[in-house]
Chain A
């Protein structure tokens, strides 16, 4: 029997009550948590929000999130055939689902508008 990885993901935006979504995906040895999240978007729910850019190289450092309460890069954390709990970074402003405001303050549109006002 093929094994399953279960991703339990905290979803929602800053003004909504948080909810938990459970996605069961086929476990493939060696894959990253980010691989699993990208597969969920294609196969199940394209609205699942998380940041990533370089996909695999651990160069962009955008895919930080909480895995079972610990800060990880989703691109280097291994997918495992068990339930894995994913949450947005707790110390950053929530944008939606697993995406948080991690841009330096002076590189945000809002702060540019404030400066120019």
Chain B
């Protein structure tokens, strides 16, 4: 069959959707095994997504700062996960982490080092020892991104295309055979035939009004996987970062920047009365930074609810007891950036509040990153299981690197053994949608913004049945508002249509989060139900969610409890 004239058709062995650390690691690994790789991103390659935003640290048992072993890292990961970690995946993350960190080191990523050459590690909350490596100053994510980007660019066989928005995975006879999308630059429909497809699109924090994410973290990959027939797990577990920056307005900086300040310098969390309140919630900090994220989020939220919050609706973070020269020594040029924002930490507190930061849940995969759809793999934050009900600090970049590599290797091997064959008929509905002209009246940017407010209000860290039902009703209302066809006609940088495709994904994923949260009638890790405040051992199970005949369906699954030897 002949393609319509304006459509572009591309062919590859391995198609990777998303060019953050997971996608780029997958590309490098697949290329090493002689596969042809097409790495696509809806933004620019290696610039969108979460990796470039990760200013903080990477957890890895290198054993250079102090003696350490991957099993110790695993023990902390499982403990943070509150009984829900897939121990196979968590084990792989911890065991292979050091190899990936050393690989980046060999590519000159620039890990901070001691004078004697040992790689430095800081102790982040939830870890039993200093285990978190970093690049100064607050440059970990940009350095990792830049380094991987440099490696990807060197490989002739890795083709890279930015500004390409993937809208659907194409499946034929239950197997992934490629994808369909459109070129953001000119609106042209694009079909991509691939022997295997890897989803590496990151998380879903854009679903929330207060978030620490890039604009393109709207959960695309979860929606792509659901519509392709794959299962997701643990969708109710959204990690809120307890001390996201709230006020005064700070520009040119990541809102989660206070975390490394707290590892290095402590810093006191105070309510409106100047009282250091963490101990009142059973997590005494004494000016250090030791409380796990879920407990600190709870303490802050409860303090605000009790009317003891700061003017902007959070609490105060104070470094006023830290001498100016220590601030300067620890954060150098960052102090100048704060000054440019009118903030002098020696004289004033800042306001912080929990913000959506990371998603524990995601696509259900095997230890070699296969989903339950043949030919479809996933990696990085897009997968669920490794972090259970609450992610340990520093594990996100590690999992992106480790799982990205694993997915790339599996995909290359599958491609070598044949893989799946493109089916034009199977691609038709998705191609029709990207080309379809639609009514032009809906403000899709406002729909996205309404959804973000709805999720922040009802599906934040503290949930009730009434709130979750209100969220589900709101999601249905917004879905009706956007209709089933994108507005307008395809064109260059058409933000209305782009928002429509985003809203289509975001509404499906938001529904999955709210439905899973409503079903789990207990409190555990990042999922706290005010109407079911206790942890219930009967709920020490994962919830899997899939899309059947257009409806989401939930099932309980036992936790995978065996760690690799």
Interface residues of A (CB under 8 A from B): 13-14, 28-32, 41-43, 46-49, 52-62, 73, 75-76, 78, 95-97, 99, 101-104, 106-110, 112-113
13 pairs across A/B with beta carbons < 8 Å?
A29-B249, A30-B251, A30-B341, A46-B443, A52-B215, A53-B216, A54-B254, A55-B215, A56-B250, A56-B255, A60-B47, A76-B251, A108-B185
Verify B494–A47 contact, CB threshold 8 A. yes
Q: Roughly how many angstroms separate A76 CA and B45 CA in the complex, as a whole number?
A: 22
Kindly state the separation between the CA atoms of A14 and B141 in the bound complex, as whole angstroms.
35
Starting from the known contacts A47-B495, A95-B492, 6 additional A-B residue pairs (CB-CB under 8 Å) come to: A28-B249, A31-B249, A56-B252, A57-B55, A107-B45, A109-B163
Q: Are B48 and A112 in contact (CB under 8 A)?
A: no
A14, A48, A56, A112: the one within 8 Å of B10 (CB) = A112
Give A110 Cβ to nearest chain B Cβ, in Å.
Answer: 8
Min CB distance, A49 to chain B, in Å? 4
Q: Please tell me if the beta carbons of A59 and B249 are within 8 angstroms of each other in the complex.
A: no
B267-283 contacts to A (CB < 8 Å): none
Given A47-B494, A95-B185 in contact, is the A32-B251 Cβ separation under 8 Å? yes
* Contact, CB under 8 Å: B53 / A95: no
Q: Is B162 an interface residue (CB 8 A)?
A: yes
Question: Given A57-B53, A59-B53, do A112 and B252 touch, yes or no (CB 8 Å)?
Answer: no
**Closest CB pairs A-B (n = 4):** A30-B249, A46-B445, A76-B252, A53-B48
A75 to B341, CA, bound (A): 13
Give CA–CA (A10, B159) in the complex, Å: 34
Question: Are A55 and B443 within 8 A (Cβ)?
Answer: no
Chain A at the B interface: SS class: loop
Residues in B neighbouring A75, C-beta threshold 8 A: 251-252
Q: Which residues of B contact A61 (CB under 8 A)?
A: 47
Most buried by A among B53, B162, B188, B445: B445
Q: Does B533 contact A (CB under 8 A)?
A: no
Q: Is the CB of B252 within 8 A of A46?
A: no
Q: B553 at the A/B interface (Cβ < 8 Å)?
A: no
Q: Is B318 close to A, CB under 8 A?
A: no
Q: Is the CB of B43 within 8 A of A62?
A: yes
Kindly report which residue of chain A lies nearest to residue B139, judged by CB atoms: A59
Closest to A60 in B: B47
- Tell me the smallest distance from the CB of B164 to a CB of chain A, in Å: 6
> Distance (Å) between the CB of A87 and the closest chain B CB?
15
Q: Which of A28, A102, A108 is packed against the most chain B CB atoms within 10 Å?
A: A108
Known: A42-B445, A97-B493, A112-B10. A53 touches B47 (CB 8 A): yes
- The distance in angstroms between the C-alpha atoms of A66 and B52, with both chains bound, is 24
Q: Mark B47-86, 1 if CB is under 8 A from A, else 0.
A: 1110011010000000000000000000000000000000
Whether B214 sits at the interface, judged by CB under 8 Å, is yes
Give the docked Cα–Cα distance between A73 and B495 (Å). 20
Cα distance, A95 to B253, chains bound together (Å) = 28
Among residues 162 to 191 in chain B, which have CB atoms less than 8 Å away from a CB atom of chain A?
A: 162-164, 183, 185-186, 188, 190
| B190 proximity list for chain A (CB < 8 A) | 109
Q: How far is the CA of A11 from the CA of B547 in the complex (A)?
A: 41
A30-B493 in contact (CB<8A) = no
B496 on the A face (CB < 8 A): yes
Asked if B161 contacts A112 (CB within 8 A), the reply is: yes
Q: Identify which of B183, B188, B214 gathers the most chain A CB atoms within 10 Å of its CB.
A: B214
B214's contact among A29, A60, A103, by CB below 8 Å, is which? Answer: A60
Chain B residues in 8 Å Cβ range of A96: 491-494
CB nearest to B142 among chain A residues? A59
Chain B residues with CB below 8 A from A47, complex form = 494-496
